[in-house]
Amino acid sequence: MDRAVVAAGCLRVLREHLDREFPPLPPGNARDPGPLVLLYERWVVKEHWNLAREVLPLLLGCDPDIWLTRCAELELLAEAEESAQALADVASSGMGLPILNPEAPEHEWRVRPADVYLWAIGVGYQVPEPFATLVQYVLQVVKRPGFASSSPVTGAAAGEARERVLGAALALLARTPQACRDDNGFIDPGLMARCIVEQSVRWFESTQPPMTEAEIATLIAQWVD
């Protein structure tokens, strides 16, 4: 049987087990984004996901940080391991899930979020709605697959700051697209940066974002078309 079909089947079975114990997280709405939207706003802007630890829970609408604990509580570790291995088999066979670092050990393989989404819809697996919506925005606006690999800030916290700022930018594009565009309909990094700074308490733990407004505008300009 086709490895992609096997992997999709494993995902559906595992999703059914999870849904019986815990109803899916609500997708949210314009006024209240809900936990599932917030989960994907944080993860979709990452440049890559770990295939062994992150792809499976994110395909199922679960936070990778609590995934193994949740599976252990539900006695689903065997099913989770089977599904994860099926995804690894798909990737190793070159069947639509490109590995960014194929020379690395299997447990360190990385894939792009957009490639995960495109593979899933290609095999007929229905991903959570917020994942689909947000990754479609990314596919529409980013300049290249490895978007914004550089950052206007450096240091140990640069990667986390970049992801948090781009998560806020993605949230703006998805929730209030009209606030992100100039009078000609083009995405305006300056407008987006101003909105992020003015509404920083929505996304950051402090009233100040981790970058200046100018740095945020520069990062967004690298990211979008």
Pair 193, 220: CB distance under 8 Å: yes
Same domain, 36 and 121: yes
Domain contains 145: no
Q: Give tens-digit pLDDT for 60-92.
A: 989 999 999 988 988 888 988 988 888 898 888
In this prediction, residue 122 carries a pLDDT of 87
Domain contains 196: yes
Helical packing angle, 129-141 and 34-43, nearest 10°: 40
Domain contains 121: yes
In this prediction, residue 20 carries a pLDDT of 72
| Spatial separation of the C-alpha atoms in residues 109 and 102, rounded to whole Å | 7
Please enumerate in sequence order all residues whose Cβ is within 8 A of that of 171, keeping only pairs 6 or more positions apart, or say none.
33, 41, 202, 203
Domain contains 70: yes
Give the total number of structural domains in the chain. Answer: 2
Same domain, 124 and 26: yes
Same domain, 202 and 123: no
Same domain, 30 and 80: yes
- What tokens does 45 get? 């802007």
Within 10 angstroms of residue 199's Cβ, the number of other Cβ atoms is 16
178, with CB counted inside 10 A (0-12, 13-18, 19+), is: exposed
In this prediction, residue 30 carries a pLDDT of 43
Measured CA angle at 15 (ends 97, 136), to 5 deg: 45
Domain contains 150: no
In this prediction, residue 27 carries a pLDDT of 52
Question: Which range of residues forms the domain containing residue 208?
Answer: 158-223
Domain contains 153: no
Pair 10, 86: CB distance under 8 Å: yes
In this prediction, residue 53 carries a pLDDT of 92
Pair 137, 173: CB distance under 8 Å: yes
| Spatial separation of the C-alpha atoms in residues 118 and 9, rounded to whole Å | 17
Domain contains 37: yes
Q: DSSP letters of 97-163? A: ---S-TTS-GGG-EE-HHHHHHHHHHTT----HHHHHHHHHHHHHBSSTTTT-S-SS-STTHHHHHH
Q: What is the mean pLDDT of each run of 10 residues along the chain (225 residues)?
A: 77 79 54 72 88 92 90 88 89 85 93 91 87 83 51 56 82 81 87 87 77 88 76
